[in-house]
Amino acid sequence: MATQVVDHSALKVNQTGIVATVLVAFVGSAFYRPALLLIPLLAIVLLLGTFAPQLALFKQLYFKVLKPAGIVKPQPVQDRPEPHNFAQGLGGVFLAVSSFFLYVASPAYGPTLLVIGLAIALLVAVLAFINLAFGYCLGCQIYYQLGKAGVIRAS
């Protein structure tokens, strides 16, 4: 499969958005519990953005506001968008699972599941931060492993 130009600044804005949203929800929930609502909202944003890039909130923020205003400079790289989309979708799935623990399981089965829900959301933020800071994309590595195993067509 041929590579194309991927603007890595859009990916970095997306990762920054994920980290910031989870952190606001995490810290905010200590004082104001409804702040946790940001987690399922973020899950929806990531999942929608995976299947319909025009609905990817943070990337659109970059393309429509930050890039035209010159606040964030473009960083075009010959790359494939599929592994990044896969990683984003995986983040969305994990945040959906986290939301299930936060809003469905914990009210029924106790606060331990609330801790698990928060921990899953925080892990997604940690992985987004590692990608942002060090360029290591766990979702992309999983994509490679699935391609190697023949589960998905990776090249």
Partner 1 sequence: MTQLWALAVVAIVVLIAACLEAFRSRRARKRALGAVAAPAADPYILYFTGDGCTVCRTHQEPALAKLGAVRIDRVDAIADRTLADRFHVYTLPTTVVMSPEGRALHVNYGYATAPKLERQLAEARGSAIQAATA
Tell me: does residue 140 bind partner 1 (CB under 8 A): yes
Q: Taking CB under 8 A as the rule, does residue 84 contact partner 1?
A: yes
Query: CB 36 → partner 1: shortest distance, Å?
Result: 10
Q: Which is nearer to partner 1, 64 or 104 (CB)?
A: 104
What does the chain come to in residues?
A: 155
Q: How far is CA 100 from CA 5, 11, 64, in A?
A: 36, 26, 32
C-alpha–C-alpha distance, residues 43 and 109, integer Å? 22
Shortest distance (Å) from residue 55 CB to partner 1 = 23
Strands (E), the chain: 4-7, 76-79
Interface with partner 1 includes 148 (CB under 8 A)? Answer: yes
H-helix or E-strand containing 54? none
Contact 127, 121 (CB under 8 A): no
* 3-class secondary-structure state, position 67: coil
| 107 binds partner 1 per the rule CB under 8 A | no
Residue from 54, 69, 73, 78 touching partner 1 (CB under 8 A): that is 78
Least separation in angstroms between residue 62's CB and partner 1 is 17
Exposure string for 58-81, b = 16+ CB within 10 A, e = fewer: bbbbbbeebbeeeebeeeeeeebb
The answer to whether 61 contacts partner 1 (rule: CB under 8 A) is no
- Between 90 and 137, name the residue whose CB sits nearer to partner 1: 137
Centroid of chain to Cα 152: 21
User: Per CB under 8 A, does 77 bind partner 1?
Assistant: yes
Binding site for partner 1 (CB under 8 A): 1-3, 6, 8, 26-27, 29-30, 77-80, 82-84, 111, 114-116, 118-119, 122-123, 126, 135-137, 140-141, 143-145, 147-148, 154-155
